[in-house]
Amino acid sequence: MMFERSPAKIWRNRDVLYRLKYSYCRDCKRSFYPPRGRCIYCGSSNIEHRYSSGRGVVKEFTVVYQTPVGFTDMSPMVIGLIEMEEGFRLLAQIVDVKPEEISNGMKVEAVLRRMIVDGETGLIYYGIKFAPLIEKS
């Protein structure tokens, strides 16, 4: 079954999807993702856009078995609530680790992975998932 996602849609969102561009509010000093023109907490438009280090911590996670079309071959799929070093939180897949080895507080980092395949002959879309952090010595 075709997923029929637009290539242009992925391309125009590349900074947010691949570089984790987020918003920082200069007034209330809070960060949020995805970026917006106004602060989601205080409503200020005194916003600057920044790029995340890609490192964060798992706050909670779930193993999903009823996956939507486009994700069925990834089932069971782990979705994590991840708090990034910069203070914002996001929801994303956790990979390269068995679900039973994941724990809250585990350090993770962004990795580029295959997200969606548009059928057997369609485009392959890549995106950010999170894997256990490999500390560099």
Partner 1 sequence: MRSFIISSSAVKIDRYYDKNFKELAIESIKDLEKKISEPLEPEALIISSVAVEHLDRQSNMAGIIADYLGLRNIRVYRVESGEASGLAAVQIAHSLVSSKAVKKALVIGVDKLSDMPNAKIAELYSYLKDSDYIQIHGVSPLSEAALLAKIYMKTYDYSYEDLFIWPFTMHQNSLDTPHAQLRFKISPDSYKESPILAEPLRLLDSYPFGDGASALYIVSEDVAEEYDVNVSIEGLSSSNDVNDIASREDLLIFSAVRDSFIKTLKMADIELGKLKYIEIHDNYTPNAFIVLESIGLADRGKAPELLQDSMIGSAHVNLSGGLKARGNPWGATGIYQVHEIFSALLGEFKKSVLGEIEYAAAQNMSGCGDVSYSIVLKRVR
* 96 is a contact residue toward partner 1 (CB under 8 A): no
In one letter, which amino acid is 137?
S
Q: How many residues bind partner 1 (CB under 8 A)?
A: 40
52 to 37, 77, 92, 115: CA distances (angstroms): 17, 24, 15, 20
Q: Which of 109, 110, 115, 118 is nearest to 127 (CA)?
A: 115
* 113 is a contact residue toward partner 1 (CB under 8 A): no
Among 2, 42, 63, 112, binds partner 1 (CB under 8 A): 63
* 68 is a contact residue toward partner 1 (CB under 8 A): yes
Among 7, 34, 43, 119, binds partner 1 (CB under 8 A): 34
Among 55, 62, 111, 133, binds partner 1 (CB under 8 A): 62
Q: What share of the chain is helix, strand, coil (3-state, %, to 5)?
A: 10, 40, 45
* 133 is a contact residue toward partner 1 (CB under 8 A): no
Among 24, 25, 70, 106, binds partner 1 (CB under 8 A): 70
Cis peptide before 7 (omega within 30 of 0): no
Backbone angles phi, psi at 98, to 5 degrees: -70, 145
Cα–Cα distance between 109 and 113 in angstroms, integer?
12
Residues of this chain that interact with partner 1 (CB under 8 A) are 1, 5, 9, 13, 16-17, 32-34, 40-41, 60-72, 74, 77, 79, 81-82, 88-93, 115-116, 125, 127, 129
